[in-house]
Structure 1
Amino acid sequence: AGASPPSPASAALLFKDKKLNRLWEKAEKAGFSQEELKQLREEFQHHQQRLDEYYELVEEQQQAREQAEELSNEILESDEPAAKSLKANKSYSDYKSRINELHETVRQGYDRLHVASISGLAGRDFTEPKVDGLWQIALKADFNAEELDSLRVELKHFEERLKKLRHIQLEMLGADQRHGFDRDPPEKSEGRKVYDRKIRDQERHVEKLQLMLEDKILNRHTEL
């Protein structure tokens, strides 16, 4: 799982690996600066190099397997000592261990680039400090790439709620100041009561979302 073999049809694209090209398309639409895209492209290129190394090892392993099978057949036919066959099998086994290790590196690399393609290498994707703080914790937890994508959408929704609450609060403050009040007016008009209800409603939504997201993120983080 993770790595997908390079395809001749993708030769005209920026990377040989199809999944990398899909992630790169997402990064190009994410609104990064040219400098950020340059740094991100270097990370993608390093990952392509690791993929090239992975596929090269897989090919070498296949060759080692074929050599081991040929030697085994020769020994069975000639009754020669099995030392050469054992050596060939050991070489195949060594390849298998190295491939498994590199495959895990590739898998983790894909997850990291998936996050980077939407949040940048620094992982900064939110303007609200409270929301960005939760996102930074989530990036250090054990969420996979798909879970992070879903969580990012939820945090964006939470951030929009926070901004909407602040907008209504500023509108109400401006209205009070226009009427000469520095704090809650002693007698509230129907319009002022509407603002109060809007603010209470938004505050409930914000608090509910915040508790839900904190629970989801912090619980997963403390399980590390």
Structure 2
Amino acid sequence: MVVTASCPLIVLISLIVILAVLVGPCHTHSDNGQYSRSANEAKIPSAGSHREFRIAKLEQIWTKAHRMGLSPVQLAELHADLRLYEVEHLAWKHSAENEEKPTPDFKLHAILGRYGLDGRKRDAEILTNRVADNWDDSTEGEIVFADPKLEKLWMKAHNSHRFDHEELIWLRKEFEHQQQKFDELRSLSRFLSQMSDAPLNVLESGEQTVSPNYLALQEEMQQRNHDVEEGLSRLEKLAFLGYTKDNKFREPSVRELWMKAQTMNLSLPELQTFENELSKLENLMDKRSHMVERLQVVGEKLRLSQQSESAAGLQEKHTSLLERTRDLAYKAKKHLQSLSSRLMNTGLRHNEL
């Protein structure tokens, strides 16, 4: 009778043991198993365990950029752009006059588009060419620029045989600078169109007035539209006549500021001081370009020696170069922004006088 009563219990215990063997040990969230959450998150490249940005949205963009597999050079440039935007956004947010100044948020839209992070498919075919680490003139026939006018002008200049190899590289930078201005203008235009109706302020009397910030953004767009037209006209002239020997600066953004400074009513000492500052800026940009080249060389060596004993040393060197490239990119962009603002404020003061 005892044996008979215990049979169901023995069978039940046997089934539990068999089931445990088949299923295997249970995993908790703290496990490092192949399919655990922590293991999957560890596969996502990151710039470090610490936060890179104070603004959560920028941190999300930074993580997405790693997931998309942007190159080290692209990540360095993106980091500098996001860092510069964060400084500008926080300064605007805490400014007592932020309602009268245009919000810099539209610049973030342009940054996302520049690196293919905005989800828009229109630039998918040319994104690799536009955000390349390096470039040569052997890609004949490929679409390079999103703007049709710019692309047509580039092909005309490229096929004119008016420029040697080095001049074509600098001309390409001129066109990239112009494309960036196009992108920022379109980003601002989309930003304003999303506001559909101009935001209204209601006064104590009940009267409604257009938000000063909206008006400031409209003024910003008018100025940027003027800059785009002016830049395109300058490129058309350059593509037709070629480079002259009296160019003081090679970098497009630096040369553009110098040309603007010469058209303003600046005193000779002011002009000389500004020229010196532009020289410092161009030297900084040259250092950045040199650092980018070193980063690319070390990156290629690291790729080829992943299984060798020298991989650890190369990885350490690559990480150090990446940090320095990011730092130089930010300093160059920050200095460019500072000189642009200084020139604009100087022009406003002279106009008031």
TM-score range, shorter chain: 0.3 to 0.5
Bigger helix fraction: 1
- TM-score, length-normalised on structure 2? 0.28
Q: What TM-score, normalized by structure 1, do the two folds share?
A: 0.41
